[in-house]
Amino acid sequence: MAFREKTAWLTLISMLVAYTLYFGLIVGGHPAGYELFAMLWLFGAISLTQLVVVIAGSLYLTARTPKEERARPDERDRAIGRRGAAAGYYVLLIGTIVAAVVMPFLESGARLANIGLFALVTAEAVHHLVILTSYRRGWHG
Protein backbone atom coordinates (compact mmCIF):
# COMPACT_ATOMS: atom_id res chain seq x y z
CA MET A 1 0.00 0.00 0.00
CA ALA A 2 1.34 3.44 -0.95
CA PHE A 3 2.45 5.87 1.75
CA ARG A 4 -0.22 8.42 0.82
CA GLU A 5 -2.88 5.74 0.96
CA LYS A 6 -1.76 4.72 4.44
CA THR A 7 -1.90 8.31 5.71
CA ALA A 8 -5.38 8.72 4.17
CA TRP A 9 -6.52 5.57 6.01
CA LEU A 10 -5.01 6.88 9.26
CA THR A 11 -6.81 10.21 8.95
CA LEU A 12 -10.13 8.65 7.95
CA ILE A 13 -10.17 6.00 10.69
CA SER A 14 -9.11 8.43 13.42
CA MET A 15 -11.75 10.90 12.23
CA LEU A 16 -14.51 8.30 12.18
CA VAL A 17 -13.64 7.07 15.68
CA ALA A 18 -13.29 10.58 17.15
CA TYR A 19 -16.41 12.12 15.66
CA THR A 20 -18.58 9.03 16.03
CA LEU A 21 -17.79 9.37 19.74
CA TYR A 22 -18.48 13.13 19.71
CA PHE A 23 -21.79 12.99 17.85
CA GLY A 24 -22.74 9.78 19.67
CA LEU A 25 -22.40 11.59 22.99
CA ILE A 26 -24.47 14.49 21.67
CA VAL A 27 -27.24 12.21 20.44
CA GLY A 28 -27.08 10.48 23.84
CA GLY A 29 -27.95 13.77 25.58
CA HIS A 30 -24.53 15.21 26.51
CA PRO A 31 -24.73 18.95 27.39
CA ALA A 32 -22.42 19.66 24.42
CA GLY A 33 -25.54 19.28 22.29
CA TYR A 34 -27.11 22.47 23.64
CA GLU A 35 -24.54 24.36 25.76
CA LEU A 36 -21.85 26.32 24.02
CA PHE A 37 -19.06 25.93 26.58
CA ALA A 38 -19.67 22.21 27.04
CA MET A 39 -19.59 21.87 23.28
CA LEU A 40 -16.33 23.77 22.96
CA TRP A 41 -14.67 21.67 25.68
CA LEU A 42 -15.86 18.33 24.30
CA PHE A 43 -15.13 19.19 20.70
CA GLY A 44 -11.77 20.71 21.62
CA ALA A 45 -10.71 17.66 23.65
CA ILE A 46 -11.79 15.16 21.00
CA SER A 47 -10.34 17.03 18.03
CA LEU A 48 -7.07 17.66 19.89
CA THR A 49 -6.80 13.94 20.70
CA GLN A 50 -7.50 13.09 17.08
CA LEU A 51 -4.83 15.57 15.96
CA VAL A 52 -2.26 14.01 18.29
CA VAL A 53 -3.14 10.51 17.00
CA VAL A 54 -2.80 11.65 13.37
CA ILE A 55 0.55 13.38 14.02
CA ALA A 56 1.93 10.41 15.97
CA GLY A 57 0.65 7.95 13.36
CA SER A 58 2.09 10.00 10.50
CA LEU A 59 5.48 10.14 12.23
CA TYR A 60 5.36 6.36 12.74
CA LEU A 61 4.42 5.74 9.09
CA THR A 62 7.12 8.15 7.90
CA ALA A 63 9.75 6.39 10.00
CA ARG A 64 8.69 2.93 8.72
CA THR A 65 8.47 3.86 5.02
CA PRO A 66 11.60 4.00 2.84
CA LYS A 67 12.44 7.48 1.55
CA GLU A 68 11.80 6.59 -2.12
CA GLU A 69 8.26 5.51 -1.20
CA ARG A 70 7.66 8.94 0.32
CA ALA A 71 8.42 10.77 -2.93
CA ARG A 72 6.75 14.10 -3.62
CA PRO A 73 3.19 13.78 -4.91
CA ASP A 74 3.07 13.35 -8.68
CA GLU A 75 0.30 14.13 -11.19
CA ARG A 76 -1.77 11.10 -10.13
CA ASP A 77 -1.60 12.01 -6.43
CA ARG A 78 -2.57 15.60 -7.24
CA ALA A 79 -5.44 14.51 -9.52
CA ILE A 80 -6.77 12.18 -6.83
CA GLY A 81 -6.41 14.91 -4.20
CA ARG A 82 -8.36 17.36 -6.39
CA ARG A 83 -11.10 14.78 -6.93
CA GLY A 84 -11.41 14.20 -3.18
CA ALA A 85 -11.48 17.94 -2.47
CA ALA A 86 -14.18 18.51 -5.10
CA ALA A 87 -16.39 15.75 -3.64
CA GLY A 88 -15.88 17.11 -0.11
CA TYR A 89 -16.73 20.62 -1.30
CA TYR A 90 -20.17 19.58 -2.55
CA VAL A 91 -20.95 17.81 0.74
CA LEU A 92 -19.85 20.89 2.68
CA LEU A 93 -21.97 23.10 0.42
CA ILE A 94 -25.08 20.98 1.08
CA GLY A 95 -24.32 20.95 4.82
CA THR A 96 -23.95 24.74 4.85
CA ILE A 97 -27.27 25.17 3.05
CA VAL A 98 -28.97 22.82 5.54
CA ALA A 99 -27.45 24.79 8.46
CA ALA A 100 -28.65 28.07 6.94
CA VAL A 101 -32.18 26.69 6.42
CA VAL A 102 -32.57 25.37 9.98
CA MET A 103 -30.83 28.35 11.64
CA PRO A 104 -34.01 30.43 12.22
CA PHE A 105 -35.67 27.48 13.99
CA LEU A 106 -32.87 26.86 16.51
CA GLU A 107 -32.83 28.48 19.93
CA SER A 108 -29.27 27.41 20.79
CA GLY A 109 -26.04 28.48 19.08
CA ALA A 110 -24.49 25.17 20.12
CA ARG A 111 -27.01 23.21 18.02
CA LEU A 112 -26.23 25.33 14.97
CA ALA A 113 -22.49 24.93 15.59
CA ASN A 114 -22.94 21.16 15.83
CA ILE A 115 -24.81 21.06 12.53
CA GLY A 116 -21.95 23.02 10.97
CA LEU A 117 -19.38 20.70 12.55
CA PHE A 118 -21.28 17.65 11.32
CA ALA A 119 -21.22 19.08 7.78
CA LEU A 120 -17.47 19.74 8.08
CA VAL A 121 -16.69 16.27 9.43
CA THR A 122 -18.87 14.57 6.79
CA ALA A 123 -17.23 16.60 4.02
CA GLU A 124 -13.76 15.67 5.29
CA ALA A 125 -14.73 12.00 5.58
CA VAL A 126 -16.06 12.02 1.98
CA HIS A 127 -12.84 13.76 0.88
CA HIS A 128 -10.70 10.94 2.31
CA LEU A 129 -13.10 8.19 1.16
CA VAL A 130 -12.92 9.43 -2.43
CA ILE A 131 -9.12 9.56 -2.21
CA LEU A 132 -8.95 6.00 -0.90
CA THR A 133 -11.44 4.72 -3.47
CA SER A 134 -9.47 6.40 -6.25
CA TYR A 135 -6.20 4.81 -5.11
CA ARG A 136 -7.86 1.40 -4.78
CA ARG A 137 -10.08 1.28 -7.85
CA GLY A 138 -8.28 3.64 -10.19
CA TRP A 139 -8.74 7.14 -11.46
CA HIS A 140 -8.96 8.30 -15.05
CA GLY A 141 -9.06 12.08 -14.65
Residues binding other proteins (CB under 8 A): 2, 68-69, 71, 74-77, 137-141
Identity of the residue, 52 or 69, whose beta carbon is nearer to other proteins in the bound complex: 69
Least spacing, CB of residue 76 vs other proteins, in Å? 4
DSSP string computed for 75-122: HHHHHHHHHHHHHHHHHHHHHHHHHHHHGGG-S-HHHHHHHHHHHHHH
- Name the DSSP letter for residue 28: T
Q: 52-90 in b/e burial notation, b at 16+ Cβ within 10 A?
A: ebbeebeeeeeeeeeeeeeeeeeeebeebbebbeebbee
Contact 47, 23 (CB under 8 A): no
Distance of closest approach, residue 125 Cβ to other proteins, in angstroms = 20
- Nearer CB in complex with other proteins: 86/93: 86
Give 44 or 73: the residue with its C-beta nearer to other proteins. 73
Shortest approach of other proteins to residue 1 CB, angstroms?
A: 9
Closer to other proteins by Cβ: residue 9 or 139:
139
Taking the complex as a whole, the smallest distance from the CB of residue 129 to other proteins amounts, in Å, to 14
